Every structure is written in C-alpha cells, then in structure tokens.
Structure 1
Amino acid sequence: MPLMIGLTGGIGSGKTTAANFFSDLGVDIIDTDVISHELTEPQGGAIAAIREVFTSKFITAEGALKRKEMRGLIFSDSNARQKLEAILHPLIRAEVSHRVELVSSVYGIVVVPLLLETGQYRDLIGRVLVVDCSEHDQIARAMARPGLGEQTVRAIMATQYSREERLQKADDVILNTSDMAHLERQISVLHRKYIALASRS
C-alpha cells in the first residue's frame, strides 16, 4: 500500500482547497465528502437504509437525500446523527479502502473531516495533516457557502475537535491564514517531504 496522508481540519479551514493543490501536483485524492455525496445521490448505496431508518420524508422524489432537512435534524438531535453515521461511515470506509488500492501516485491523500474524531482510518493513514486557521476564519468561510448560517456552522464545529486538539494530534500542519500563494508554498514543501518519506517506506 502506498503512503497515505490523512488530511483533516475543521469546517471552513480549507481542506478542499489544499487537496486541490495536491491534486495539481499529481497526487491521487480520496475525499470522503465526495464519497458521502455519491452514496446519497439518487439511488445511491445509502438511500435504502436512510429511507428505512428516517422514512421517505428525508428522500426526494428523485431518490436522493434531502441534505438541508437532514442537516437540520442531525445537528439538533445527536441520536439522529449517530444513526446516520452508523449507516454512512461503514459504507464510506469500505469505498475508501477500495480506492486506496487503486492509488497510482507516489503517495495518496484521504480527506476526512472527522479523521481524528472517529479514529476509523488509523490503519490506512501514515501521517495526519491538519489544515489550520482561526475559528473566526472558519465561521466566516463556512457561512459563505449556500445554506449555512452561523448557528449551523457553530453546531457543526461543536461535533468536531477544537483547534488545539487537532494541532496536538497533527504530524504536519498547513497554516491557511494568508493568501493562496502562501498555502501553495507550504504544500510544495510537504509534497517533497512526502515523496521522500514514500520512497523510504
């Protein structure tokens, strides 16, 4: 198995932007959010179980998950969130394991928002890379997305580790506190580091 880097960070920290820079360098990216969306698209692999547990009122006429309605439920009801995670996490994990086997770059990256919180990927991950920024920046960036108000963003942040906890568990850190050029420079340095580590493993 190639060296796999687990890329994580709080909501709005810039995980996707960082992953895109790595992708531009030719690194294979496995994004668990993308897999989650695939599983909850019309007739996706998680839809039948979601319909069974949560009823059809959370499924569109086309057979997809009603994301806004489900988001409202799970961030107001921790029991509902646990039920949804019990459906999605094993399916996502199985698909990640499959895609790791297909990685053809020198090393690969798995983007997992709750990498540290769930601990589900430790056997696949060689290093933890945290994208870091202030909580103020997290909230501002997340609220710029459609349909995410401050209350929702703070509810999501409450389910994630604090900034300090993430930094304590990180092997490597990207500071997303400046401009894109600063971010890209840090990623170029890490890219060379990971190629060197992969060649020794």
Structure 2
Amino acid sequence: MNAPRSYVVALTGGIASGKSAVTRRFEARGIAIYDADIAAREVVKPGSEGLAAIVQTFGPGVLDDSGQLDRAAMRRRVFADDMARRQLEAITHPRVRSWLRERAGTDHGPYCLLAIPLLAENIAHYRWVDRILVVDAPEEAQLARLVQRDGIDEPLARRMIERQARREERLALADDVIENHGEEAALDAAVATLHERYLALARTQA
C-alpha cells in the first residue's frame, strides 16, 4: 500500500511581499519547499521538451551562445507582446504545474510548501492543494522593497505590481495570512505558529 502523500500548503504573495523570507523560515524547520520559479527554469533547461517547444514557437534566436534560453531577452519580448506572453505561458505553465505536483506527491515530510507567486492567477489548476498561505504586505511596502531590491524606478515597480492579481484577490483565497508589514524578524513567531498548525493538520490527514 502506498504511503499517504504529504499535506500540501501553497504559499503565495505579491512581488516583494516577503515570500522568500517566509519560506526560508519553514525550510529551517525541515520543511521541503518546491518553488515555481525553480520549476520554471528546470522545465526549459537544455535538452528539455519545454525548451524545444519554445524554440519551435519563437525560433532559435531565443537561445544564448551556450544553447540555453536567453531569459532576459525572452522577458523583454513577452513584456511587450501579450500574444507572445500567452504562447510562452501555454508552453511553460503546464510543465511547471506537473513539476510541482510530482514533487509534492513524492514528498516524505509531514507537509510541504509550494511557493507559487502567480497562484491567484492560476488557482483553477491548483484545487488539489490542501491549504493556501498568503504573505501580505501593503503596496507601498512592496514598492519600496522592489525599488531597492531590483534597482528600478518607481513607475516600473508599479507596473510590475499592477500586472499581478490584486491584493484583495489573493487574500480572498487565503486560509492563512502572514502580515509582513515591518521588520523581517517579526516573521519568526508567525511561522512558528503556522508550523505547529500544519503539523496538526497533517496528522489529522494521515
């Protein structure tokens, strides 16, 4: 008989809301983190079906000199062209979802976290997760962090935030919310509380 799968918590939040700071704290407690951003790189690595499909769709000019996807050039292209963005997402998103589901299904911990920045935009494909955790921050805090982190100007930072789901949409999906409004150290207590909650929920599922 197969062992029951881990309890699965999907973690999301707006850009520069503090998702990485939260996932690091869960990881420090021995919880596996499966990150959609890592998956997105894995599914288009050289030799993959994903990269072959991108080259077939966009041409060999999307590759750099080493045969890898030129991610910066691809980002510029899809940022300026909605049809190109939809074509790229049609190739990568299903593969990312399969990557995440496969790893969640074979995880041996009491629970695992899926870090999915665009969960709200793709929630129909993630109905199988057990619980949703949203890392929330005010837009002004996101802006300040994004400008400092990426070295960009405020108008670009605002456009990046506006391209994502609205804060209210994410919060409407949440089973749990971590409010990341101040110092990063304040996240410790919130993560500790949720860790115990998820362990208890995982025991009831087992």
What TM-score do the two structures reach when normalised by structure 1? 0.91
Q: Give structure 2 stretches of 5+ with no counterpart.
A: none
Q: Secondary structure at the match of 2:126?
A: coil
- C-alpha displacement at 1:97, in angstroms? 1.6
8 A contact 1:49–1:87 mirrored in 2: yes
Match of 1:96 in 2: 100
Structure 1 match to 2:141: 137
Q: Give the unaligned 5+ runs of structure 1.
A: none
State the AA in 2 paired with 1:93: R
For residues 1-201 of structure 1, what are the structure 2 equivalents within 5 Å?
Answer: 1-146=5-150, 149-201=153-205
Between 1:139-148 and 1:56-65, the stretch displaced more is 139-148
| Distance (whole Å) between structure 2 residues aligned to residue 47 and residue 74 of structure 1 | 16
Question: Measured at CA, do residues 84 and 155 of structure 1 come closer, stay the same or move farther in structure 2, by a change above 3 Å?
Answer: farther
The CA RMSD measured in Å over matched residues stands at 1.8
Which consecutive aligned stretches of 4+ in structure 1 deviate over 6 angstroms post-superposition? none
Count of residues paired in the alignment = 201
Which moved further from structure 2: 138-147 or 169-178?
A: 138-147
Equivalent residue letter for 2:168? E
> Cα distance, 1:151 vs. partner?
4.5
Kindly provide the CA deviation profile for residues 12-66 of structure 1, in whole angstroms up to 9, marking residues without a partner as x.
1111221111011111111010111222344444211111111222211112222
Q: Deviation string for 1:85-118 (max 9, x for gaps)?
A: 1000111111112111221111111011111211
- Aligned to 1:124, the other structure's residue is in SS state coil
One-letter amino acid matched to 1:103: D
Calculate percent identity across the aligned residue pairs.
37
Does structure 2 retain, via aligned residues, the 8 Å contact 1:44–1:64? Answer: no
Q: TM-score, normalised by structure 2?
A: 0.89
